[in-house]
Amino acid sequence: MRLPSDRIFWGVSLGHMLNDTFMSTRSVLLTFISAYILPMTSRQVGFALSLVELTGAISQPFFGWLADRTGGRWLGAGGVAVTVIMFCVAIVVVMTGASYWLMLIPLALAGLGSGAFHPVGSMYATHTSPQQAGRNAALFFMFGQLGLGIGPAVTGILLENAHSRINEWFAPALGASFPHLLLEHGTVLPVIGLSVVAIPVIWLMARTLPDKPEPRQPKAAVQNAAPPQPLRKWPFVILALAVSARGLSSLATVAFMPYMFQLKGWSPSEYGLLSSSFWVASGLAGVWFGMMGDRYDSRRVITLSLMVSAPGVFLLPSLSGVLAFAAAILVGAMSGSHSLIVVLGQSLLPGRKGFASGAVLGLIFATGALGNLIVGDFIARIGADNTFQLIAVITLFGSLLWLLLPSVKHSSSTAA
């Protein structure tokens, strides 16, 4: 496979990796904070996760519209900078003893920074080679998902020895009837060190991204063009429903894996690595899905991937050790089709790629955020096992909705 050579592509791809590295730390951070610093219920963890996603999701259509008109240089570079800075601020706020609600303010602003970056990045990732939009989108999202894989693993390692081990020392002497009753303490300050890698990436984006929109078509060309086709509403309704069902099997599932496996006694490095294996598998498989989407019907590729992932989601809570990692890798790999969703969305709004990218990504993140709220509440009500089994059933039936969407028309020309 021939990699793109465009500097803009590499600027937004590395920016995607950096942005998502920090965004992915939040599930491990919140799990650690709830255990060692600020006690939180599964509902509170779900609300915090959802708030970050929602602030980014709701703002993405607006930022995509703005990128179409400005070129997106400062939206892209500035958005990533805001994400990094606000996560560091949230860590400082937690360590100064602030309340749960005060911690949510910088987390929400970090989501807003991510919302500014994503429409710009996805717009330029597919723009560099339109004939291979699926492949380029998949590579762009692969970098993001590698960041999603790096974040939990590195965060878990940094936090592994950043907490006390009173229960480990004294619980055996107290006996089996007194597990994990002694008060533990910890710190999340080591995670701030990750911000050092942000400086060169943000500088590269600021140098490579355009600071003005593309020139408009000449007036004569616009007059001679075929009249635009009226937009149909039903594909957008179906897309919203299909993305909602898919969000439960990917974003909401991986968001609660650290929480679920901490309850099983896993260490931060263990459940951080489990989350990372999900995202790395998703990123690597996403490149293959992108190439399949350029050759075959994207709708059927997405449907098949969701059908394969449903058994992994169903079994995940009951597994441990190597089998838990195998299930996480399977579900993660099958969630790698989201680049095809962006291309599908862009095909529904031709000529408005920035807005289409923002709208589709906003929809993906918003439904994932609502999924976090729902999953957090259901875990509190019926337990993790029953919740994940319900998600698996919804995923299986939701996979059929993609077949109701119009297919993407592929260009007859082939890129080198």
- Is 223 part of a structural domain of the chain? no
Asked whether residue 348 carries a pLDDT value surpassing 60, the answer given is: yes
What amino acid occupies position 340? L
Report helix, strand or coil for 182: coil
Annotate 42-61 with three-state secondary structure.
Answer: HHHHHHHHHHHHHHHHHHHH
> What average pLDDT does the chain have?
79
Share of the chain above pLDDT 90, in %: 12
Residue 79 in this model has a pLDDT that exceeds 80: yes
pLDDT above 70 for 323: yes
Query: First vs last Cα of the chain: how many Å apart?
Result: 10
Q: Average pLDDT for residues 98-116, to the nearest whole number?
A: 90
d(CA 144, CA 279): 9
Asked whether residue 219 is domain-assigned, the answer is: no
What is the tally of structural domains in the chain? Answer: 1
Q: What is the rounded average pLDDT of the residues 234-247? A: 80
Instruction: Name the residue with tokens 């717009």.
Output: 123
Higher pLDDT, 416 or 122: 122
Residue 200 counted as domain residue: yes
pLDDT in tens, 173-188: 555 555 554 455 678 8
Residue 413: what pLDDT? 39
Residue 365, pLDDT > 80, answer no
Collapsing DSSP states into helix, strand and coil, what is residue 186? strand
Task: Tell me: pLDDT of 230 over 70.
Answer: no
Residues 291-311: pLDDT tens digits?
Answer: 777 777 888 888 898 899 889
Task: Tell me the two tokens of residue 51.
Answer: 């708030």
> Is 29 among the domain residues?
yes
Instruction: Work out the burial of residue 106: count CB atoms within 10 Å of its CB; fewer than 13 is exposed, 13-18 middle, 19 or more buried.
Output: buried
Q: Which residue has the higher pLDDT, 369 or 300?
A: 300
Q: What is the pLDDT of residue 110?
A: 93
Residue 300 belongs to what domain range?
Answer: 7-212+232-404
What pLDDT does 132 receive?
A: 62
Does residue 222 sit within a domain? no
User: Which of 53-67, 178-192, 357-371, 384-398 shows the lowest mean pLDDT across its residues?
Assistant: 178-192
| pTM passes above 0.85 | no
Does any domain span residue 321?
Answer: yes
C-alpha to C-alpha distance for 326 and 335, rounded to whole angstroms: 14
Q: In this model, does residue 192 exceed pLDDT 50? A: yes
Across 62-66, 201-205, 357-361, which has the greatest mean pLDDT? 201-205
Structure tokens at 89: 């601020």
**pLDDT for res 85:** 94
Please report, for the domain that includes residue 12, its CATH number.
1.20.1250.20
Residue 31 belongs to some domain of the structure:
yes
With residue 137 as reference, give the H or E element that holds it: helix 133-160
User: Is 68 among the domain residues?
Assistant: yes
pLDDT per position as a tens digit, 132-159: 666 677 788 788 878 888 888 888 888 8
Cα distance between residue 402 and residue 117, in whole Å: 27
Q: Summarize the confidence of residues 46-73 as an average pLDDT.
A: 82
Cα–Cα distance for residue pair 61/85, rounded to 1 Å: 23
